[in-house]
Structure 1
Amino acid sequence: MKKSVIFIAFLFFIFFTTCKESKINIGNNISFNKEKNIQYGNNSEQVMDLYIPDTGFAGEREVFIIIHGGGWRGGDKSQLTFFTLSMMQRFPDHIFVNMNYRLASSMRYGIPNQIDDIKNVAAFLKERLRYSPKLILLGNSAGGHLSMLYGYHFNTDKNVKAVINIVGPADLSDVGFKNYEEYSFVEKYLVDPKILPKGTSAVDFASPVHWINTTSPPTLSYYGKTDRVVPLSQNKILDSVLTKNNIIHESYEFNGGHLDWDKQPNNTFLIDKIEKFLKPPYKK
């Protein structure tokens, strides 16, 4: 526990002492070149932070795209800055993107805008890196949902290597999830009705489990045992559909509620499991 507190303090020190610098040194000879608030679209909300390892490497690096939560209409990438730094410590050879996306409102639908924003980030990376990188989508809450939805339904380039879903709703029609206090917003404003296929409801269209098939990307999920926002039933539903389609997957539960995944020891446990999940001989 003492070591964990020291490491978190170390990350705070790194962040505040390098926020105006173009390079981050995170110990153990690990450093990244940092670019903050890169514009990847015309809207002011379409910005991302990019971290590229500061080491010589001739091959093509994989990219973590980190997607924040906030009920599709709130939140900010800054909420996941320290978790991103922790991940960089474990994956020093990967590129990291911590992105914002256009937030939903009663005047602007979340989908397809937020899905298009992930596509735009992928297109930006392809142009910037001069190759099409394999993507690992990692998000919490609404970000976990968007990671799954993109990976299972909108991954037309088949470049998503894996999805890391943290407390993300996978089945929006689940009776347990309907207790979510903003569920009426989900029904009315999450999906633009103009994009719905005939006979498909907005709730079904926006449910990642609706799109899982035998070619869906491997998925690691993490859910709280006492989560009152995204109930544990979501984990069981998602596991069942992934198993039915023979998709490589793992799921874990932590002690705590919706926001407790990023607290010790839950966050360290999660990063340990992600590291194992993505190691060879696993390939997809």
Structure 2
Amino acid sequence: MKKIIIVFSCLCLLLFNICCKKKTIHLGKEINFESQENISYGNDPEQTMDLYIPAVLNSKSDVFIMIHGGGWRSGNKSQLTFFTLSMMQKFPKAVFANINYRLASTSRFGIPNQTEDINNVIHYLEKTLKYKPRFFLLGNSAGGHLSMLYAYHFDRDKKVKAVINIVGPSDLSDSGFKKYFDYPFVEKHLIDPKTILSNVSMTEFSSPVNWIRTTSAPTLSYYGKNDQVIPLSQKVILDSILNKNHILHESYEFNGGHLDWDKENNSSFLINKVDQFIKDLDKNKTL
């Protein structure tokens, strides 16, 4: 029995090493990253991430945290792998963490688990990198919502310096968003009622726009003109609240529906806008 346990332990260790094996990715002339896949940042099997560190890392290397969509209860980091690699070509000196998070279900609330996962990733990266970087959250759909909600409400220490929101719902009380086919699940299972203050409704608590203040993170948003899941009214509401609070922000529209943002022309446009947005932040000394 003792031998069986030892053999099993060795196999587990071998599998762990294979899953987390480091390798070098070459993305062009002098653009090299060390990648490590399926790193565990928590005790739950879903708390994993792929980490990409530039060959030349310094204390000024920014960190992009990539947060996938899927209606808060589905999806996987693999959905953003190709886009992450494209971003790495544009930002060869930055660190990229493409994350999974604990998915919501009828027996497990999405929040605060998912916002806690973003927080856990930030702490893990600070400990691993051994410096305090600028964090940029980039998410699509539910990931865009989580990026905004974390940055505007849960980021107590203001470590997130900018949000890249791609087709993320900003106001869950919007009548246009209530047409979302899975809205009943969102109402019942997105937010743990224990986390909500008695004078705040579920939709108020879970809506990023409700937490925007004059000190909120600068935000770049991207919405589809023909999106049948997240209507353009979400962009209008978000822009309005950011304007009222004098938050540096930009928003753009692309041709297509909810999933068309990462088509070649749309994604390349977005990446260029992200690049310019961060340059503008530096010029304005916002960070």
Alignment TM-score, normalising by the size of structure 1: 0.91
Cα deviation per residue 1:122-169 (whole Å; 9 max; x = unaligned)? 010111111222100000000000000000001111111100000000
The residue number in structure 2 matching 1:63 is 63
* Identity across the alignment (%): 63
Report SS of the residue matched to 2:25.
strand
Report the CA distance between 1:264 and its aligned residue: 2.1
Cα displacement (A) at 1:29: 1.0
Report the CA distance between 1:113 and its aligned residue: 0.1
CA distance in 2, matches of 1:166, 1:224: 9
Aligned to 2:283: 281
What letter matches 2:39 in structure 1?
I
Counterpart residue identity of residue 60, structure 1: K
SS of 1:66's partner is: strand
Report the structure number with the largest CA radius of gyration: 2
User: Corresponding residue for 1:13?
Assistant: none
Structure 1 residues 39 and 21: CA distance shift in structure 2, 3 A? closer
Give 3-state SS (helix, strand or coil) of 1:121's partner: helix
Amino acid at match of 2:135: L
**Which residue type is aligned with residue 25 of structure 1?**
H
The amino acid of 2:184's aligned partner reads S
1:184-211 alpha-carbon deviations (Å, 9 max, x no partner): 0111000000010111111110000000
Deviation at 1:275, TM superposition (A): 0.5
Which residue is equivalent to 2:111?
111
Q: Look up the match of 2:191.
A: 191
3-state SS of paired residue (2:264): coil
* Counterpart amino acid of residue 179 in structure 1: K
Q: Tell me the CA shift for residue 21 of structure 1.
A: 5.9
- Give the 5 Å matches for 1:25-174: 25-55=26-56, 57-174=57-174
Gapped regions of structure 2 (runs ≥ 5): 1-19
- Please state how far the C-alpha of 1:20 moved relative to its aligned partner: 7.1
Aligned residues: 265
Rounded Cα–Cα distance in structure 2 between residues aligned with 1:50 and 1:151:
21
Q: 1:58 to 1:183 in 2, by over 3 A?
A: closer
Cα distance in 2 for residues equivalent to 1:132 and 1:202:
34
Q: TM-score w.r.t. structure 2 length?
A: 0.90
Q: Could you tell me how far 1:249 is from its partner in structure 2?
A: 0.1
Q: How much is the aligned-residue C-alpha RMSD, in angstroms?
A: 1.2
Following superposition, the deviation at residue 92 of structure 1 comes to 0.4
Paired with 2:206 and 2:179, the residues of 1 have a C-alpha distance of: 17
CA drift at 1:58: 4.0
